[in-house]
Amino acid sequence: MRRPGTLTVYVWELRKLRAQKRTYLGLGIVTAVPLIFVISLGLRAGGPDGVAFGRYVHQSGLAIPLVILIFASAFLLPLATALVAGDIVAAEDHNGTLKTILTRSLDRGQIFAGKLLAALSYALLALVLMGTVATVAGSLESGFNGLVSLSGTHISAPKALELVYASFGIYLLPMLAIASIGVLLSTTTRNSAGAVVGTVMVVLMLNLLNIVPGLGSLHDYLLPNQFDAWMGFLRTPIDWSPIVRAAWVSAIYAVPCVFAAYLVFLRRDVTGG
Amino acid sequence: MSTSGRAPDGDAPPVRALGLVKRYGELVAVDHVDLNVATGDIYGYLGPNGAGKTTSLRMLLGLIRPDEGDVELFGRDPLIAGAKALDGVAGFVEAPRFYPYMTGRRNLDLLAAFDGAGAAGRIDESLRAVDLDKRDGDKVGGYSHGMRQRLGIAAALLRAPRLLLLDEPATGLDPAGLRDMRSLIRRLAGEGITVMLSSHQLAEVEELCNRVAIIRTGRVAYEGELAELKRTAAAEYRVRTTDDHRAAAVCRAQPAIFEIRVTDDEIRVRAEEPAIAELSIALGEAGIGLKLLANEQATLEDLFFRLTEGDPVAAEAVA
């Protein structure tokens, strides 16, 4: 008879996430922030100054998700990502359920892969949910209108919508790297709160490196800076260099973290519970 | 040398552990432990807290890696064969743990999905076996300790096991729960399932198990038939005579009597049966009348404490 595999673990990890309040806390926050932002726009005439697309938020609802992407990179989306990624192994270890699932018919590698995929899926869901709420609410508030690109050219509304979702796609890459850091900390620390906070602290530390004098040459390789790569899509013609860099820089952070977490998970002694 | 990830050998014993060692820094939690559980055994694994029972069971299930030694379950090493080594094996270490935010049935749905091989079709039967079929819709967070223990057994039964490894299955159960658990284990053993259980409940082990291993400070002090242990362990005899003072001297002169305690009104000697026969003759030859010669057969509790407390050399002599 066919043995269960990674897909089984992945599906059940998603079901477990659906059954936990913590999941909805993160999703609630990423839903509330764009709604609050749009409501505040409706209450006053101005918009965020000094931010790309900030001055267009009253002309086109499609500018709103882009502005929110800029603000969300510092803390909001890393936190939402860390809430699940930092918890996904450590909580099971702490509660003793890791030993329960490790004594069934699945190999450790399959369980790790299922958990990793679930953490990455949650990051994707948080981003798509936030972006979609911002796009819909923004369009209702400011209209489904075209955008002016960062190069000053006009982009039609359907094309702009396409580029907004493409931006979400490239924005996802550093988020996945953050999720990988979270999974590594979750696997090694065996402490859920420590792993969640640790992940956010790593992002904040990388942000701080951005303002340390003398480290200018490092900026292109800092993970938080890859959150701005989507702006390449909003230039005419599309500027692929920041997008390609975001892809490989994010991979440089993600791949070693995932590999290290995998090795630790395979070899660790499960003593919790 | 382990025989590893090969196909399971039909004749291979359910559990074979050889020279298991687990160290935590300076502490040697398990020190060259050998365990042999044969098909059909109800095997008791006894030892005081911290003796290394749970660490041993975790190594058997592949949850922790031994620093030395090999484990085989039906001829397969969990560290080499991975999950395949656990085919036909089920159980839990320490308290069974579940997802508290899911119902009992939902937890079993998850575990059955992780088991495959038709486990989902055994959920109802397993719940009925542990009398949880009417509470399966409640969240596990609201279960009592005893209900979680029973759910742990149900989760094990999903795997249609040939070997059950149970760590303190009776812990925290009320008297009715204890009775039901013993009855369930006896029934499962009657169905041909080999059972290895660690326990502090000596009465339970004495009642259920045919073979035991007794572990102290990480080392196995005895492994074998329970009946053999009780038979070979020298019994204690109470002796009352017409002259206890001289009788004690006669006892001391008997080389086969290896323990003598003189109390206010009697002498207690530990010896095997032939030595007691010789003692009675020697007392008669010395003109000492016997008023009482009574055998006090050692209980498992006596043997357990003799093997797990005091001088390890003396304990080995008992074993």
Q: What is the DSSP string of A72-125?
A: HTTTHHHHHHHHHHTTTTHHHHHHTHHHHHHTSSS-HHHHHHHHHHHHHHHHHH
Residues of chain B neighbouring A107 (CB-CB closer than 8 A): 82-83
* Look-up of token digits 């560290």: B79
Q: Could you tell me if residue A273 is inside a domain?
A: no
Residue-level pLDDT at B82:
87
- Inter-chain touch A97–B97, beta carbons under 8 Å: yes
SS3 call for B13: coil
Task: Provide residues of B within 8 Å CB-CB of chain A.
Answer: 58, 61-65, 82-83, 86-87, 90-102, 106, 110-111, 113-118, 155, 159
Cβ atoms of B271 and B309 closer than 8 Å = no
Mean pLDDT of chain B: 86
Q: How many residues does chain B have?
A: 319
Domain count, chain A: 1
What is the rounded average pLDDT of the residues A91-100? Answer: 93
SS3 call for B89: strand
Give the integer Cα–Cα distance in Å for A265 and A116. Answer: 11
- Inter-chain touch A1–B116, beta carbons under 8 Å: yes
Please tell me whether residues B209 and B262 are part of one structural domain: no
Q: Could you tell me if residue B308 is inside a domain?
A: no
Q: What's the pTM value of the predicted model, to 2 decimals? A: 0.86
Q: Any chain B CB within 8 A of the CB of A1?
A: yes
> Which among B204, B195, B183, B177 is positioned nearest to B91, based on CA atoms?
B195
pLDDT value at B202 more than 90: no
Residues of chain B neighbouring A95 (CB-CB closer than 8 A): 97, 99-100
pLDDT value at B135 more than 50: yes
Please tell me whether residues B215 and B240 are part of one structural domain: no
Q: Could you tell me if residue B245 is inside a domain?
A: yes
pLDDT value at B122 more than 60: yes
Q: Could you tell me if residue B101 is inside a domain?
A: yes
- Inter-chain touch B101–A19, beta carbons under 8 Å: yes
- Inter-chain touch B102–A97, beta carbons under 8 Å: no
- Inter-chain touch B116–A2, beta carbons under 8 Å: yes
Please tell me whether residues B92 and B31 are part of one structural domain: yes
Please tell me whether residues B217 and B287 are part of one structural domain: no
Please tell me whether residues B19 and B115 are part of one structural domain: yes
Q: Tell me: the pLDDT tens digits for B260-300?
A: 888 888 898 888 778 888 999 999 999 999 999 988 766 77
Residues of chain A neighbouring B61 (CB-CB closer than 8 A): 99, 103
Q: Could you tell me if residue A272 is inside a domain?
A: no
Q: Could you tell me if residue A136 is inside a domain?
A: yes
Q: Could you tell me if residue A41 is inside a domain?
A: yes
Q: Could you tell me if residue A185 is inside a domain?
A: yes
> Which among B220, B197, B219 is positioned nearest to B15, based on CA atoms?
B197
Give the integer Cα–Cα distance in Å for A93 and A30. Answer: 28
- Inter-chain touch A273–B101, beta carbons under 8 Å: no
How many Cβ atoms from other residues are within 10 Å of residue A25's Cβ? Answer: 11
- Beta strands B219-225 and B194-199, pairing class: unpaired
Q: How many CA atoms lie within 13 A of B207 on its CB side?
A: 13
Q: What confidence tier does A1 reach under pLDDT thresholds 50, 70, 90?
A: low
- Inter-chain touch A9–B96, beta carbons under 8 Å: no
Q: Could you tell me if residue A101 is inside a domain?
A: yes
| Residue of chain B whose Cα is closest to the Cα of A269 | B64
CA distances from B185 to B6, B14, B27, B176, B279 (A): 30, 17, 34, 14, 44
Q: Any chain B CB within 8 A of the CB of A236?
A: no
Please tell me whether residues B154 and B35 are part of one structural domain: yes
Beta bridge mates, B23: B28
- Inter-chain touch A96–B95, beta carbons under 8 Å: yes
Residue-level pLDDT at B313:
47
Residues of chain B neighbouring A19 (CB-CB closer than 8 A): 99, 101-102, 106
Q: Is the dihedral of CA A195, A199, A204, A210 positive or negative?
A: positive
Residue-level pLDDT at B9:
55
Predicted ipTM of the assembly = 0.88
Please tell me whether residues B144 and B175 are part of one structural domain: yes
Q: What is the CATH number of the domain that holds B206?
A: 3.40.50.300
Q: Any chain B CB within 8 A of the CB of A19?
A: yes
Please tell me whether residues B125 and B267 are part of one structural domain: no
Residue-level pLDDT at B317:
46
| Residue of chain A whose Cα is closest to the Cα of B102 | A19
Residue-level pLDDT at B50:
83
Q: Could you tell me if residue A82 is inside a domain?
A: yes
Nearest to B64 among A2, A12, A270 (CB): A270
Element holding B23 (H helix, E strand):
strand B15-24
Most B-contacting residue of A104, A107, A112 (CB-CB within 10 A), to test interface: A104
Residues of chain B neighbouring A105 (CB-CB closer than 8 A): 83, 86-87, 114-117, 159
| Residue of chain A whose Cα is closest to the Cα of B62 | A103
Q: What confidence tier does B111 reach under pLDDT thresholds 50, 70, 90?
A: very high
Domain of residue A258 covers: 6-267
CB pairs under 8 A between A and B: 95
Residues of chain B neighbouring A16 (CB-CB closer than 8 A): 99, 102, 110
Give the integer Cα–Cα distance in Å for B207 and B22. Answer: 31
Would you give the end-to-end CA distance of chain B in angstroms? 27
Instruction: Give the DSSP letter string of A45-74.
Output: S---TTSTTGGGTTT-TTHHHHHHHHHHTT
Residues of chain B neighbouring A101 (CB-CB closer than 8 A): 110-111, 114
- Inter-chain touch B97–A96, beta carbons under 8 Å: yes
Beta bridge mates, B157: none
SS3 call for B43: strand
Q: Could you tell me if residue A85 is inside a domain?
A: yes
* Look-up of token digits 């000697």: B269
Residue-level pLDDT at B301:
72
Alpha-carbon distance A84 to nearest alpha carbon in chain B (angstroms): 16
- Inter-chain touch A100–B97, beta carbons under 8 Å: yes
Cβ atoms of B2 and B70 closer than 8 Å = yes
Domain of residue B279 covers: 234-297
Most A-contacting residue of B21, B114, B167 (CB-CB within 10 A), to test interface: B114
Cβ atoms of A228 and A66 closer than 8 Å = no
Please tell me whether residues B123 and B190 are part of one structural domain: yes
Please tell me whether residues B26 and B95 are part of one structural domain: yes
Give the integer Cα–Cα distance in Å for A30 and A137. Answer: 13
Cβ atoms of A245 and A229 closer than 8 Å = yes
Assign 3-class secondary structure to B209-269: CCEEEEEECCEEEEEEEHHHHHHHCCEEEEEEECCHHHHHHHHHHCCCCCEEEECCCCEEE
Q: Any chain B CB within 8 A of the CB of A12?
A: yes
Residues of chain A neighbouring B97 (CB-CB closer than 8 A): 95-97, 99-100, 273
Hey, what are B244's tokens? 């206890």
pLDDT value at A36 more than 60: yes
What is the rounded average pLDDT of the residues A247-265? Answer: 97
Domain count, chain B: 2
pLDDT value at A112 more than 90: yes
Q: What is the CATH number of the domain that holds B245?
A: 3.30.70.100
Most A-contacting residue of B102, B109, B110 (CB-CB within 10 A), to test interface: B110
Q: Could you tell me if residue B313 is inside a domain?
A: no
Q: Report the C-alpha dihedral over residues B267, B271, B274, B276, rounded to 10 degrees.
A: 0
User: Is B303 or B237 the better-scoring residue by pLDDT?
Assistant: B237
